[in-house]
Structure 1
Amino acid sequence: MKEVEVTSREIIKPSTLTPQHLQNISFSHLDNKATPYYVTIILFYSSQGDNKKLEQGEISDQLKKSLSETLAQFYRVGGRVKDGVSIECNDDGVDFFEARVEGQLMEYLDHVNVDELEQFLPYEVCITVDELSSKALLAAQVNVFDCGGIAIGMCFSHKIGDGVSLAKFINGWAAMCCGANEASTSMYFDLSLHFPMTNLPKLMPSIGPKENKLLENIGESKEKMVPSSPRGKQNIVTRRFVFDVPNIAALRDYVRSKKFSNIDYPTRVELVSALIWWRAMAIAPSESKHTRAYAAMHAVDLRQRIVPPMSDDYFGNASSFTVTPFIKGETVSEYHDLVGYMRDSIRKVDGNFVMELQRGNELSMNCIKEAKEQFLERGLVMFNFNSWCRFPFYEADFGWGKPTWIATTKVPGMNLVILIDTKSGDGIEAWVNMLEEDMAQLENDQEFLSFVSSK
């Protein structure tokens, strides 16, 4: 493990005060339902660019000044959660840490241990309800290696934004660091007008093979949920699996070759998500395979699915979930079938779906109750997929080139998967969080490993 020594910590505040009429931003329904934890990302920069010529103090000064200027435009980020229903844009600022790292960056990246990545972050991922109103909504830690390589680790509160918003903020900060006059040409913080606070459930319409089913708040029914292995110590581990272009092409050819498959060109996200779900079900204990219900949940960005579409300049949580249910023994458990179920589920998140979400009509509520009874009486094993693919994290140039590698860390959730583009943009890195005993089986599943390029 590389020794990371934090050398300083300070609060960075916006360069200008937020006007009084902008000092309170109400949560949208989607903000309100967002889990209160920190989304983590680490951007690694090699020492081949201009940062090789800069001292740590110069790098830090550039980053702090540009961060302060960026917060003036992204004033929501520099505030605090107020009463659990809004953001008070009080200019309290964000935490900024500096750290030194022994060794060479490229040597470290050649032998990455994902369990060690959290040392590059300023905060723990989890946050208590009591801390929600007092802790900063963003914290950054700038880690400088002996060689001049840099790792910028960030913790971004999920209560103020989704992955699209995080990418928007990072690239805005990078632009300001390079001397831009604005972090973004436009920014909108009024998502509550489009998704007002309601009593809608946390999980949205499930539109896979069982049409128009909805699952109510799974988090409130934990006693009926089951892991994919017997209960015991909940030791969740994280592993990274890389799928390169040839292996993704092999998965796509396999699906398209099936006689009854009507999927012409499955996406990377569909292919990798379905593969992980398929093999995770296959390795489940034999006594539970035919008695439990399984479901895959995908986060879906609503900005381009609402009518008329929104731009990515809408900052906040504008993502919902679609659930693909599957009960072993009732449906043929073929890989290409699962790809099709997922595609049907994701593609039906359209303008009508969003309109129904905004209205919260009684028909939806009745479907929720029906699906809850059907699935939870059997015991539900849920797999959660979040795709960061096509998010422009690899475009974030702070003045010393684009990132060499983008990473995340362990997240507080079992069977939770984050999909990230490889640097080339056409492969996928799957960051999988599972129970330790389940992960051990997945790492030894030869059918799964035959499509994995590296770990």
Structure 2
Amino acid sequence: MEVKAEIVSKSTIKPSSTTPNKLRHFKLSLIDQLAPPFYVPILLFYSASDATTTKTISQKLKASLSEVLTLYYPFCGTLRGNSTVECNDEGVVFTECRVPMELSSLLKDPDLHQIHHLFPCDPYNPARETMTGNMAAQLNQFTCGGLALGVCFSHKITDASTASSFLTSWAATSRGNKLILPQLEEAALVFPPRKIEMSLIRGMMGHKNIVTKRFVFNRTNISRLKQKLGSFDFTPTSVEAVTALIWKSSLEAAKANSEEGKIPASMISHAVNIRSRMAQTFSEHSMGNLWQQAVSPVVEVEGEVGLRDLGERVRETIRKVEGKYLSMVEGDEFYKVMECLKEARTMVAEKGVPCYSFSSWVRFGFYETDFGWGKPSYVRTIGVPIKNVVIFMATKVGDGIEAWITLTSRDMVHFEKNPELLQFVSFDS
């Protein structure tokens, strides 16, 4: 059953004070320029609050949003070309909706395809709804009094870490706490914009016959998985271990659908947060796209797929994004990095080599977002409409990982029945 949201009101929230003229033209960084032209979607669910009415919640959200936008002024500006945001204080659209169902009904089975109406726009087709701003928010009220706050941020100025910082600041402001100051200009100073036109997703969007499903790995099962992969010289992280298992299970699903009946050559990529990896460490509240796509070489497998071997490949790939690599991106050799990314895109789009792309949002603290009526009961995003893409979210309890996995429908049939995968998936989440 698809969730329908009835619009009650729509307003534009402007910053509580005017942006000074000297800050009117905000420069994007090089990495912002390369970011895809869609939105970063976050959905925060809150149980019914006995102490606070929806009207009061709405008023607090709008008032605190107006205040925090004075710090995050590019969020209410207009993107000009692919290098500048005109910070013209046009504001952020804030929509209020009623949802004719109980929140518990939705959370029992959080199907990906039920919840698009809880967002202020379709994050991956914003033009369809004439979405032009750099941010929009939507407050949804369920019949039980539960709430869902859906927020979409332009990926041109926001990555998942920036989205988390903004929500943390917005929530602190709503509670009456001290404003958390963002670092807005660090990214463009280190990675100045350049004359470049390149899309890393061209030819990859809009796949038909794809499906996204959720798989949850609790702390106990992740611990068992890490023990299975580990050796005297290799102790995987939770993200490395779950990545390797999903990669292996995906390859075996592809083999089941292959006419040759063999494991295809493949690659993986991981979006790596570089805030703490630079020689000049960035603040955790540095705004913008401060990540790099770590891409493995093409991996060819003879015979059976080795889980530990894949785990080691995952680590090697992620650890490529370190000092020397980042110096190349920062300096004149960044064209070499761009050529490597172009080559990987060509392997996928033209030569048909599958690239399994991972992005981990596990450490970004979305479950701490308390606007004054408690922390979220559930936090999620929605899958990217590109095959072989995986997003990791944290679970609310413990150190688990919730993986939203998008595969072709044919591959998903075999993937979700993989015996080894099922040994580590939690069914009581």
**TM-superposed deviation, 1:52:** 2.3
Conserved in 1, the CA contact under 8 Å of 2:265 and 2:301?
A: no
Code of the aligned partner of 2:329: L
Match of 2:190 in 1: 194
Does the residue aligned with 1:73 lie in a helix, a strand or coil?
coil
Q: Tell me the TM-score normalized by structure 1.
A: 0.86
Does the residue aligned with 1:327 lie in a helix, a strand or coil?
coil
Distance 2:347 2:142 in 1: 50
Conserved in 2, the CA contact under 8 Å of 1:293 and 1:375?
A: no
Match of 2:330 in 1: 358
Code of the aligned partner of 1:191: A
Conserved in 2, the CA contact under 8 Å of 1:390 and 1:425?
A: no
**TM-superposed deviation, 1:326:** 3.5
Does the residue aligned with 1:434 lie in a helix, a strand or coil?
strand
Match of 2:397 in 1: 424
Distance 1:173 1:373 in 2: 37
Q: CA, structure 1 residues 266+126, in 2 after alignment: closer, same or farther (shift >3 Å)?
A: same
Match of 1:345 among 283, 305, 317: 317
Written as runs of structure 1 = structure 2, the 5 A alignment for 1:262-411 is 262-263=233-234, 265-284=235-254, 285-287=257-259, 292-329=264-301, 333-361=305-333, 364=336, 368=340, 375=347, 378-411=351-384
Match of 1:9 in 2: 10
Deviating more after overlay: 239-248 vs 123-132 = 123-132
Deviating more after overlay: 66-75 vs 120-129 = 120-129
Match of 1:29 in 2: 30
Match of 2:115 in 1: 117
Match of 1:46 in 2: 47
Distance 2:335 2:304 in 1: 30
Q: CA, structure 1 residues 61+336, in 2 after alignment: closer, same or farther (shift >3 Å)?
A: same
Percent identity at matched positions?
A: 37
Post-superposition CA distance 1:243-276 (Å, at most 9, x none): 001110111111125xxx731x211111111111
Conserved in 2, the CA contact under 8 Å of 1:31 and 1:159?
A: yes
Distance 2:425 2:211 in 1: 18
Conserved in 2, the CA contact under 8 Å of 1:244 and 1:453?
A: yes
Q: CA, structure 1 residues 289+36, in 2 after alignment: closer, same or farther (shift >3 Å)?
A: farther
Q: Tell me the TM-score normalized by structure 2.
A: 0.91
**TM-superposed deviation, 1:27:** 1.3
Distance 2:367 2:338 in 1: 43
Distance 1:105 1:144 in 2: 9
Conserved in 1, the CA contact under 8 Å of 2:19 and 2:73?
A: yes
Gaps of 5+ in 2: none
Distance 2:345 2:406 in 1: 27
Does the residue aligned with 1:325 lie in a helix, a strand or coil?
coil
Post-superposition CA distance 1:41-71 (Å, at most 9, x none): 1101112xxx323222211111111111111
Code of the aligned partner of 2:111: N
Distance 2:78 2:194 in 1: 22
Match of 1:154 in 2: 151
Post-superposition CA distance 1:158-191 (Å, at most 9, x none): 1111111000001111011111242x13433341
1:179 has 2:158 as partner: no
1:142 has 2:115 as partner: no
